[in-house]
Amino acid sequence: MDPGEAGRQAGRSHGYGTGSVQNVGKISRPSHRNGAVSKPWHAHVVGRRVETVIREILAGDKEKFRVIIREYSADLLRLAHHFVRDWDEAEDITQATFIACYRSLSHYDPARPFRPWLYRIHLNRCRSAYRWRRRHLARIMRLEDAPPTPADPDPGDRSELIMQQVDRLATKQKAAFILIEIENLTSLEAAQIMGCSDSTARVHLVRAKQRLRKLLAAAGVAL
């Protein structure tokens, strides 16, 4: 099995499908339904509607920002959880993203797609949290005689084993893998979010798959 398909199956098994936001303005966790999938890339607030909503927000109608939260919170929350694998921390990251988005709206260029702009803000926060976790773990390993050993997953929980290895990818490789293989974005869409060229995003994905194959083989997970 291709590592990308393995990642998509793991993502579905972990309940990463899009869920509804129960309360407008409140970050709610996606529903855990196996097989649920994200909205298509263009199935969100698009075109003139985004421009209209943003103009109204900048004109002082702060309540209109609830529209942005309602449309994007489930997807952003799921993406953050892919990186940190903790719902509470994912909620904190998502809240921080919306705060940063609101404060930066005056700098948004309505001639450019809104979703990649918002996702880039979010991805930067996800990356920072992920890097902090890795540095924190490295410090613990230096202080302890032996590295901390997490609880062993159920040997039958293949999706958990796969996601553990995804966590070991380099930050940019992990971002490319999650966005393209789990979130089902095109390499061009992922590149817009990552702030790189289409070809660079594809290189990160290829390297992620190569690395993931080796990690999974070493962990005894057959593809």
Read off the CATH number of the domain in which 197 is found: 1.20.140.160
One-letter amino acid identity for 23?
A: N
Q: How confident is the model at residue 164 (pLDDT cuts 50, 70, 90)?
A: confident
Between CA 77 and CA 83, with CA 80 as vertex, the angle to 5 degrees is 155
Q: Which helix (H) or strand (E) holds 194?
A: helix 187-194
Residue 150 predicted with pLDDT over 80: no
Q: Which residues contact 174 (CB under 8 A, 6 or more apart)?
A: 83, 130, 166, 167, 208
Q: Say if 72 falls within a structural domain.
A: yes
CA distance 187 to 179: 8
Residue 104 predicted with pLDDT over 60: yes
The model carries a pTM of 0.68
Q: Say if 223 falls within a structural domain.
A: no
Q: What is the DSSP letter of 64?
A: G
pLDDT of residue 18: 34
The domain tally of the chain equals: 1
Instruction: Name the residue range of residue 124's domain.
Output: 3-218
Q: Give 43-67 pLDDT, tens digit per residue.
A: 455 555 877 888 899 899 999 999 9
Q: How confident is the model at residue 219 (pLDDT cuts 50, 70, 90)?
A: confident
CA distance 223 to 217: 8
